[in-house]
Every structure is written in C-alpha cells, then in structure tokens.
C-alpha cells in the first residue's frame, strides 16, 4: 500500500466499504495484478474522484455539495468515469434525472472493462492483471463468493423439468424473466473476452450475455452492449442451452439485472467453484434424477457438468462380463442448472424439485443488505459517510432486515448500533401487521 499514490490508497479504502471490495492479496503475483488494475483503470485524478463517490445512487445536486463544485463541472468530470464503467449513472425513466454511485468491482467495473470489444482500456494488460489478481491466490474469490449471499443464481433449463412438478415460479424461468423485461441488451461475455486475450478462450460465441431492465438501459446508453428484442433474446437462450452453457441470473426474485450464459472454462463464478471449492452460485430449486433403466453409461452427463458434480462409477450387471458405468450426483456441489439433462442422449435425466432450497433475496436491496451484513459492513450501507440515505431507502433496508432470521437480525442491530434501527427490528412483527 505504501507504494501506491495517495489517490489509490483512498480509493481502496472507499471500496473496502462496498458490498464487494477489492482486498489486497498476499501472493506476490496477485499483488502485482491488484496494483496494475488500479493504475490501468483509473488515472490518479479519477481515483481521487471515485474515492469520494457514494455506494448508493445519489443525485448530482447532493454530489456537487459533497465535492464543493458546480454541478456542470462535476458532471463533466463524472462522464469519463461513467463511460469506463467506474461510476454508474442510473436514469429515472419517468423524470430522466440521473443518480450516480461508485461501481463495485463485481458486478461492476471488472465486467464493464471487457464488455466492449474496443475502448480506452488496454485489453491485454487488463486481462493479464485480472488473471494474476483473481487466480494468484483466493483472496478476491473469497471476498466475492465466500459468504452465504452470492451475486448469481443458477437457472434451470426448463425443457428438462420433470412432468410431475406442480408449479415452477416465474422467477425460476429464464423465459419469464425475458418476457417480463422492459428492456434487454446483449453484450460480450466479460469472462470469455478476457480469456481470449489470454489465449484461453473456448469456441462459444462472445456476444451472448443479457442485461435486463435498468441494467440494460445503462449498458445500452454507455455503449457496453446493444439493444435487442425479446425474440432475439429467446434465440440467444435457446442457442446457449444447445451449447451446454449454464444460465446464471442476478440472485434476486424481482427485476434481475442480468442473465449470463456461462461456460465452465472461462466463467469466473464457475471457476471459483472448481478452483477454490467455494459455493459461488446459488443453486436452482431443482436437482437431477436419472432413470437407470434408460442410462447407457456413456458419461456425457459427467463430462458436461460445469462443476464436476457427477462421477461415473462401475457397477456389476448380471449376465455381463464387463461392469456398467453409472452416474452418481454430488448434491452439495450440484447447482441445479440442468446441463446434464440436456446432454443425455437417452433422455434419462430429468430435473425435479429439491427437498430443501436456498434462499433467494426478494430484490436488490435485500441482497445488498445481506451481503453487507455478512461482511460486517451494514453500517457503511445505511450511514455512508454520515450522508443521510433518505427515508425511502431506509424503509426498504429496514424492511429487508426485519425479515432476516432472529440471529441475523440481532447481528444487524449490533453492527448498526442505531436506536432507530434497533427499535424497528424489535417491533418488526407489529409494524408489518
């Protein structure tokens, strides 16, 4: 840290308060990548501005008062950062007014840096620095994926669901997410584009990842992707399933920001499972079941599984000289994507409802509250630099906290140490009624 300029040290301190930080690694190669990423992406002046940006959407007027700068002058300084994806400006569709926030590394400026084929970044240098930082040791992987609430959830391939499943909820269907989206964009897969510059990319098309709703509006306006209609988006989903890709969506039920089509060789989330053994993807509510009478032991399901959750084991068969091979499924590792079922040439695998399902946050506010709670940063979210977040946000945040299990609710109260929040949590059942 002592070798970094003051502007970058201030930026690191600011990112340390985000839902996903950019922690300093221990490994020498990872440390060099960490330093290079900062200097490649931010100029010292940009780092100084970013280090004072809020973590939640904030209007230009309030920002101008924070920076003690005229609005027009501040807007001119923020525009280049928004073009790079280092700062996000979210537009209110009704008023056309924008609110700005500091983009986190994930989902944020790491992805944006590779979502365009050509721009102001040196792609090769950024790709090399990211690879060193992310894979030199597990520091960043544990920051992003080492807690209960992760950023993405697996979406089951709907066409292999068992016929006897009584109900599949809308938020569990990729097709419904697309059908209900108000705006859709397609972008280059950041992971696959990065792998291309490292000479490690697979042959899957790069322009295949989808942004939805407000996320799509930002992506289109800032040139990180292009608009497509619902028919085109459905075509991408169908093509991705035929290619055996995993569909990973924003880990929320309502208004998800993206659906990615991921391969195990390039995807950062799947790599965190395979390389570091982390539960980096929230499993879908489904799991594979196979019919032994149909199974031919071809092992295609095992080879196709993106998280290596299927092992082929020999099994004695009466009247046969050679053993037959049969799949066994590791329920702890399986993410319920359904790739194995779509790969089986015999149609011998179907996806059925899990007995126990993982929690999926209702919306982005709940997901961020849970992430901040698990990282011990909840107070940073509610009282960002003592700048009031406003009644509307506090109402949503406290409502999300009031629905936490009792132990987590008590932890939230302890982290915040606020009489207002403590009162709201204590009286949540009465208030909800």
**Residue that wins the pLDDT comparison between 407 and 15:** 15
pLDDT at 235: 97
**Band of pLDDT at residue 417, cut at 50, 70 and 90:** low
pLDDT at 92: 86
State the average pLDDT over residues 201-222: 95
Q: What is the tens place of the pLDDT at every residue in 283-314?
A: 999 999 999 999 999 999 999 999 999 999 99
Q: Sign of the CA dihedral 273, 278, 283, 288?
A: positive
Q: Is the Cβ–Cβ distance between 264 and 307 less than 8 Å? A: yes
pLDDT at 167: 86
Please determine, for residue 141, whether its predicted confidence score (pLDDT) is greater than 80.
Answer: yes
**Band of pLDDT at residue 412, cut at 50, 70 and 90:** confident
List of residues 6+ apart from 362 with CB closer than 8 A: 252, 253, 254, 400
Please determine, for residue 431, whether its predicted confidence score (pLDDT) is greater than 70.
Answer: no
pLDDT at 238: 96
Burial class (CB in 10 A: 0-12, 13-18, 19+), 95: exposed
**Band of pLDDT at residue 210, cut at 50, 70 and 90:** very high
pLDDT at 81: 96
Q: What is the tens place of the pLDDT at every residue in 28-41?
A: 999 999 999 999 99
Please determine, for residue 428, whether its predicted confidence score (pLDDT) is greater than 70.
Answer: no
Please determine, for residue 425, whether its predicted confidence score (pLDDT) is greater than 70.
Answer: no
State the average pLDDT over residues 183-210: 96
pLDDT at 408: 78
pLDDT at 140: 97
pLDDT at 383: 75
pLDDT at 381: 81
- Taking each helix axis as running N to C, give the angle between helix 268-276 and helix 123-135, from 0 to 180 degrees, rounded to the nearest 10: 30
**Band of pLDDT at residue 126, cut at 50, 70 and 90:** very high
Please determine, for residue 1, whether its predicted confidence score (pLDDT) is greater than 60.
Answer: no
Q: What is the tens place of the pLDDT at every residue in 36-76?
A: 999 999 999 999 999 999 988 899 999 999 999 999 999 99
Please determine, for residue 433, whether its predicted confidence score (pLDDT) is greater than 50.
Answer: no
Q: What is the tens place of the pLDDT at every residue in 353-409?
A: 999 999 999 999 889 989 988 998 888 887 775 444 555 566 667 667 767 787 776
Supply the pTM of this predicted model. 0.89
Distance CA 382, CA 398 (A): 9
State the average pLDDT over residues 189-213: 95
């Amino acid at each position: 840290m002592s070798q970094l300029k003051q502007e970058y040290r201030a930026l690191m301190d600011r990112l340390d308060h985000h839902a996903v930080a950019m922690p300093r690694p221990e490994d020498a190669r990872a440390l060099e990548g960490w330093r290079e990423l900062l200097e490649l992406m931010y100029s010292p002046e940009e780092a100084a501005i970013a280090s004072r940006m809020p973590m939640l959407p904030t209007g230009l007027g309030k920002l101008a008062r924070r920076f003690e700068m005229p609005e027009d002058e501040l807007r001119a300084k923020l525009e280049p950062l928004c073009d790079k994806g280092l700062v996000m400006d979210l537009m209110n569709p009704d008023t056309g007014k924008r609110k700005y926030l500091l983009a986190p590394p994930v989902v944020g400026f790491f992805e944006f840096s590779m979502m365009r084929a050509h721009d102001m970044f040196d792609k090769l240098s950024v790709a090399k620095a990211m690879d060193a930082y992310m894979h030199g040791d597990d520091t960043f992987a544990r920051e992003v994926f080492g807690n209960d609430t992760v950023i993405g959830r697996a979406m089951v391939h709907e066409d292999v669901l068992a016929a006897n499943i009584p109900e599949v909820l809308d938020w569990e269907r990729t097709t419904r997410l697309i059908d209900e989206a108000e705006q859709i964009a397609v972008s280059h897969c950041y992971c696959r584009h990065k792998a291309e510059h490292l000479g490690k990319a697979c042959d899957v098309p790069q322009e295949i990842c989808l942004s939805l709703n407000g996320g799509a509006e930002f992506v289109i306006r800032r040139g990180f992707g292009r608009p497509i209609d619902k028919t085109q988006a459905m075509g991408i989903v169908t093509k991705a399933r035929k290619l055996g890709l995993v569909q990973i969506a924003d880990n929320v039920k309502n208004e998800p920001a993206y659906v990615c089509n991921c391969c195990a060789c390039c995807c950062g989330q799947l790599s965190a499972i395979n390389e570091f053994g982390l539960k980096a993807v929230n499993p879908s509510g489904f799991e594979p079941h196979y019919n032994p009478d149909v199974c031919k032991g071809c092992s295609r399901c095992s080879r196709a599984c993106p998280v290596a959750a299927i092992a082929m084991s020999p099994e004695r068969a009466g009247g046969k000289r050679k053993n037959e091979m049969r799949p066994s499924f590791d329920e702890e590792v399986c993410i319920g994507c359904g790739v194995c079922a779509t790969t089986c040439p015999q149609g011998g695998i179907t996806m059925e409802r899990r007995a126990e399902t993982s929690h999926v946050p209702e919306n982005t506010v709940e997901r961020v509250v849970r992430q901040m709670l698990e990282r011990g940063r909840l107070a940073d979210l509610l009282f960002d630099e003592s700048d009031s977040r406003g009644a509307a946000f506090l109402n949503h945040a406290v409502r999300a906290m009031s629905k936490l299990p009792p132990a987590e609710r008590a932890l939230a109260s302890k982290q915040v140490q606020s009489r207002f929040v403590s009162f709201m949590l204590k009286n949540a059942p009465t208030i909800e009624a």
